[in-house]
Structure 1
Amino acid sequence: MSQRSTYICHTCGEIHNDWPALAFNSPMHYNELNDQDKEAIATLSSDFCTIAHGEDIDRFIRCTLYQPVNDHCEDLQYGLWVSLSEKNFEAYKQNFNNENYEVSYFGWLCNNIPGYQDTLSIPTTVYTQRGNNRPLVIPHEDFEHQFVQDYYGGITKQEAERRISEMIGLIND
């Protein structure tokens, strides 16, 4: 029987025994801005981000991706950011509090996931969910990238725990 790992949640400060969501607080595009540009040209909330480059505006929403784990009953959850077109971003934002809003959008993955070479710009489909849950993001199966292959083929529990340790620094019981 494997030993359960515990971690201290960076949000609530409590100790948890389940697997944490591996969440990114912002899209990589926002992270690359200097502090002055973050104040002047960007807006960031827990679910939306925009960056204005003159008349061009980059638009991002926060989504959830569940990475299948083949030899475990729990999937690995990621909190990722995806860029959307202006039309789709505005439709999503307008329906953000609509519990029955279910549509899909094309988007580009906008975070670099540790353990993989450049995961920016992996094409995805974003599925909004009933009940105001964050949208699910699914990478396009025909895109050649190790992250996409791992998504469709699954990973091992050992690999999932390695990713968790790498991203948040677990404390073992």
Structure 2
Amino acid sequence: MKGYACTSCGEHHEDLPFAYSAPAPAFWQDGLPDSVLEPERCVIEGQHFFLRGRLVLPVLDADDDFEWGVWVSVSKDNFFRAEELWDSPERVEEPPYFGWLATELPGYEPGSLNLKTHLHTRPPGERPVIEVESTGHPLAVEQRDGITLVRVQTVAEMLLHP
């Protein structure tokens, strides 16, 4: 799909984005002691551990999927296990890591923060895929059942015109 007519501002936008990403976990604050934010990993106050991943929603009437770039809180053991296997091809054989969604995605009621997830590791160089626990939450329903291009446009408009 090349561009769209925005229902919020009435203008034609050249591209319809199929991905959005959070730069940090929702709990991140600059200046906290024992805290580090890297592109794929985050530690807050030496006690809270986060990994970045892709929460993929199938788009029923398009060739591409829609992706939320999100952060997931994982246990200390799973964080260090993921770090130990970071460059290893064997990491794809890891069982999924349980986690809590640490990104508040716009447009979901109730909110998405702290939804139960499973983080599926991918080959080195690929971000993990995040699976939301299958519940009646709107995000879980969209991941399970898919969304339409109209929904992708609604998200674009919501983020472009907050």
Smaller-chain TM-score range? 0.7 to 0.9
In the alignment, is residue 77 of structure 1 matched against residue 92 of structure 2? no
- Counterpart position of 2:19: 21
Cα distance in 1 between the residues matched to 2:125 and 2:43: 21
Alignment of 1:99-138 (within 5 A): 99-102=89-92, 103=94, 104-117=96-109, 118-138=111-131
Question: Contact between 2:18 and 2:65, CA under 8 Å: does it hold in 1?
Answer: no
In the alignment, is residue 156 of structure 1 matched against residue 148 of structure 2? yes
Question: Contact between 2:55 and 2:69, CA under 8 Å: does it hold in 1?
Answer: yes
RMSD (CA atoms): 2.1
Using the size of structure 2 for normalisation, the TM-score is 0.83
Question: Contact between 1:100 and 1:131, CA under 8 Å: does it hold in 2?
Answer: no
Alignment of 1:11-90 (within 5 A): 17=15, 19-30=17-28, 33=29, 35-37=30-32, 40-52=33-45, 57-90=47-80
Structure 1: give runs of 5+ residues left out of the alignment: 7-15
SS at structure 2 position matched to 1:130: coil
Question: Contact between 1:98 and 1:132, CA under 8 Å: does it hold in 2?
Answer: no
Question: Contact between 1:81 and 1:110, CA under 8 Å: does it hold in 2?
Answer: yes
SS at structure 2 position matched to 1:116: coil
Q: Residue 123 of structure 1 aligns to which amino acid in structure 2?
A: K
Question: Contact between 1:48 and 1:60, CA under 8 Å: does it hold in 2?
Answer: yes
1:165/1:41 CA distance change after superposition, 3 Å: farther
Question: Contact between 1:50 and 1:60, CA under 8 Å: does it hold in 2?
Answer: yes
Structure 2: give runs of 5+ residues left out of the alignment: 5-13
Total equivalences in the alignment: 149
- Provide the identity percentage: 25
- Counterpart position of 1:144: 136
